[in-house]
Each structure stands twice: as structure tokens, then as C-alpha cells.
């Protein structure tokens, strides 16, 4: 009984010491950061978050996807400290939000690897996406109907596509509506007659990994990350981190880290071009 009382006494003293230290005994994070938005940017930000956490014990960065519009809306509502966006802010959004560019990406047209088409003009792409061209034979391909794959409303990739080709969302006559780049690549890879548009980096990675797709050149320039980097591939865009007002505290620390040379390797691993 005496030994039991002594043991209980020691355990009690240790618990009191732990409480008095001000440090959580469970190892739970002491500072948290919520981030949401762009599916194109989120893989890179998630990897950067892991490195940031390793350099800052007690910090947890939670990265969720859902699209640029979701990230911006979440930031406006105060649901997250940082939104990820593959487009610049609109004028009305700039009234309360601030954006900082951290990377650059391109946008390319993809078709199935077995499709004999090697290139398309801007006019042909517009014709396909507006329903004026519905068969591959009309652009030099096989006599087969075209399956048009487009992005859902609210996706920055859709906005970049329509802006470049001078289209409005209602102009697009899509057979299939998809969400993120991975879904777009999977859809085209599974349909020899499909055409879609996705991130250059995602397409380049998927093709090298054996996915049966190919990227079409734009005005004779190959759709590669290197050509996005050197500025010869014209259909490119910046990737942004968005905050409600000027970033401060942990949010600013993380954004500064995302813009530093310490994460350039992670950006490149995710097929993005870091902002120098």
C-alpha cells in the first residue's frame, strides 16, 4: 500500500509539472493555418506546408482543394486564412482581398495519345468548343464524333481558357463537365475521341508517367513547363495566395516561405514555375 501511494504521488507531481509548463502534453499543434482553393496549386502548397511545419514545430497547416473560386470565397467569409487561386482577383474582390503571386503555370489542349491529330489552330479549337465542329474528320482526323471536355463553373482554368479564346461560358458546348485537372486527364485518357484543357504541368507529368494523353502545341510552340518558364508558351497564368487584407502573423510567415528560394525545388517537382 505504501509503495502504491508513493507511485500515485509521483504521477500526480508529474501531471502538475506538465500543466504548469504551459506546453500541451498531447503534442497537439499550438498554431494552425487553414488554406483552401486551387486544385492546380494545392499539391505544391501541400508539400510546402510539410516543409514549413518541419521548420516550425507546433505549427499545423491544413491544405484543402475545391477550386479557386472556393478558396477566394472561403477567404472572404473568414473560413480560411489563405485562399489559393489560379487567377488574379476580380475588381470587386480586390476591395477586401489581397493577392501575392507565388508561381506560374500554363494551360494546354490535350487529346488521347492515339488521336492522329498533331495540332489545332485557335480557330479550330474555338469551332470545336462552340459546337461548330463536331467530327474529327473536319480537322484532319478520323471520321469520329468529338467528345468535348470542359471545366465546371468557378474553375480558374475555365476562366483562363475562355479569356484566351475570347469566349463566354455559355458559348461552350461540352459533352462532359469535369472538376480538377486530374479528372480532366483521366477523362481524356479514357476516351480516344475526347479533347480537353488542363494545366501544362499536370499534362506533362501524366504523359511522362504513362497516361495515354498528349498535349498539343500552341501556335507551333510545344506545351512544356520549360516553354512556360522561358515565356514562349503564350497561354500561361500566375498562381496566387489570397488573404483578407494584408497578411499578418502566421499567414504572412507562410506566404513569405512560399515565395522564398527554399521551396523552388518543391514548385518544380509539382511542375510549376516558381516566381523568382
- Give the predicted TM-score (pTM) of the model: 0.78
Cα separation, 215 vs 57, in Å, equals 42
Are residue 213 and residue 151 in the same domain, yes or no? yes
Whether 266 contacts 47, CB under 8 Å:
yes
Q: Say if 14 falls within a structural domain.
A: no
- What DSSP state is assigned to residue 150? E
96: in domain: yes
Crossing angle of helices 249-258 and 42-55, rounded to 10°: 110
Q: Is residue 154 part of a domain?
A: yes
Assign residue 141 the CATH number of its domain. 3.40.190.10
pLDDT at 155 over 90: no
Helices (H), the chain: 2-20, 42-55, 68-77, 122-129, 156-164, 181-189, 200-208, 225-230, 249-258, 264-269
Give the pLDDT band (50/70/90) at residue 180.
Answer: confident
In a domain, 252, yes or no: yes
Residue 2: predicted pLDDT: 43
Domain coverage including residue 79: 29-104+238-274
How far from the centroid of its chain's Cα atoms is residue 127's Cα?
Answer: 28
pLDDT band at 39 (very low <50, low <70, confident <90, very high): confident
Instruction: Give the separation between CA 34 and CA 47, rounded to whole angstroms.
Output: 15
Nine cell digits for residue 42: 494545392
Residue 95, Cβ density class (10 Å: 0-12 exposed, 13-18 middle, ≥19 buried): exposed
Residue 43 grid coordinates? 499539391
Q: How confident is the model at residue 27, as a pLDDT?
A: 54
Same domain, 206 and 245: no
The per-residue pLDDT for range 92-139, each reduced to its tens digit, is 999 999 999 999 999 999 999 999 999 999 999 999 999 999 999 999
Residues 114 and 93 in one domain: no
For residue 159, give the nearest of 98, 232, 69 by alpha carbon.
69
Residue 165 is assigned to a structural domain of this protein = yes
Q: Percent of the chain having pLDDT more than 70?
A: 89
Alpha helices in 37-145 (DSSP H): 42-55, 68-77, 122-129
Residue 210 lies in a domain: yes
Residue 247 lies in a domain: yes
Nearest one of 133, 115, 137 to 123, comparing CA atoms = 133
- In the numeric block, which cell numbers belong to residue 111? 487529346
Rounded to 10 degrees, the C-alpha dihedral 19/25/26/28 comes to: 80
Q: Is the pLDDT of residue 7 over 80?
A: no
- What would the grid cell of residue 200 be? 501544362
119 and 225 housed in the same domain: yes
Amino acid at each position: 500500500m505504501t509503495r502504491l501511494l508513493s507511485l500515485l504521488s509521483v504521477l500526480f507531481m508529474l501531471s502538475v509539472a506538465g500543466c504548469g509548463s504551459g506546453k500541451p502534453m498531447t503534442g497537439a499543434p499550438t498554431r494552425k493555418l487553414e488554406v483552401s482553393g486551387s486544385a492546380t496549386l494545392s499539391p505544391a502548397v501541400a508539400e510546402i506546408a510539410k516543409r514549413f511545419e518541419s521548420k516550425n514545430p507546433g505549427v499545423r497547416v491544413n491544405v484543402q482543394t475545391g477550386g479557386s473560386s472556393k478558396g477566394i470565397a472561403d477567404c472572404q467569409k473568414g473560413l480560411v486564412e489563405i485562399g489559393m487561386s489560379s487567377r488574379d482577383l476580380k475588381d470587386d474582390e480586390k476591395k477586401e482581398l489581397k493577392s501575392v503571386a507565388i508561381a506560374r503555370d500554363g494551360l494546354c489542349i490535350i487529346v488521347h495519345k492515339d488521336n492522329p491529330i498533331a495540332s489545332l489552330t485557335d480557330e479550330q479549337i474555338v469551332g470545336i468548343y462552340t459546337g461548330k465542329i463536331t467530327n474529327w474528320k473536319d480537322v484532319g482526323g478520323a471520321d469520329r464524333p468529338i467528345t468535348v471536355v470542359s471545366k465546371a463553373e468557378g474553375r480558374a482554368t475555365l476562366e483562363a481558357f475562355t479569356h484566351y479564346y475570347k469566349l463566354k461560358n455559355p458559348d461552350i458546348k461540352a459533352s462532359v463537365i469535369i472538376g480538377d485537372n486530374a479528372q480532366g486527364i483521366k477523362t481524356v485518357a479514357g476516351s480516344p475521341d475526347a479533347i480537353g484543357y488542363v494545366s501544362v504541368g499536370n499534362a506533362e507529368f501524366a504523359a511522362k508517367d504513362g497516361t495515354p494523353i498528349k498535349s498539343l502545341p500552341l501556335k507551333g510552340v510545344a506545351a512544356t513547363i520549360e516553354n512556360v518558364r522561358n515565356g514562349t508558351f503564350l497561354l500561361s497564368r500566375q498562381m496566387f495566395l489570397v488573404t483578407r487584407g494584408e497578411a499578418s502573423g502566421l499567414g504572412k510567415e507562410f506566404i513569405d516561405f512560399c515565395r522564398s528560394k527554399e521551396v523552388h525545388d518543391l514548385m518544380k517537382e509539382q511542375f510549376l514555375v516558381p516566381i523568382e
